């Protein structure tokens, strides 16, 4: 899989989200910014994202995915601190 393919899968499952994916050879890192994460624990956020790529993980096409789920407010604060 390519980062673009992983990004497309996540974006299809979370259409309102801003998705950025990097990595290669089955190991990817995704930053997902979505209003739908408001009020959810990190675990619930990760479960939402994992659901979008579950078939690829099960098949082995996607080996590892590091998920960084953020609300827009958390993303803005992160950008201010860097």
Is 11 among the domain residues? yes
Beta strands in the chain (DSSP E): 18-24, 27-33, 64-70
Q: Which two tokens stand for residue 25?
A: 């050879």
**Rounded Cα distance, 73 and 2, in Å:** 29
Q: Which of 17, 65, 66, 7 is nearest to 37 (CA)?
A: 17
Q: What residues pair up with 29 in beta bridges, in sequence order?
A: 22, 66
CATH code of the domain covering residue 46:
3.30.300.90
pLDDT one-digit tens code per residue, 5-60: 999 999 999 999 999 999 988 889 999 999 999 999 999 999 999 999 999 999 98
Total number of domains constituting the chain: 1
Q: Which range of residues forms the domain containing residue 26?
A: 3-75
Tell the residue number behind the tokens 């309102």, with chain if given.
16
Give the model's pLDDT for residue 81: 81
């Amino acid at each position: 899989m390519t980062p673009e393919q992983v990004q497309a899968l996540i974006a299809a499952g979370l259409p309102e989200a801003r998705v950025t994916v990097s990595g290669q050879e089955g190991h990817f890192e995704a930053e997902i910014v979505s209003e739908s994460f408001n009020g959810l624990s990190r675990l619930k956020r990760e479960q939402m994202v994992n659901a979008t790529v579950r078939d690829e993980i099960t098949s082995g096409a996607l080996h590892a995915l590091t998920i960084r789920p953020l609300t827009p407010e958390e993303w803005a604060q992160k950008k201010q601190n860097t």
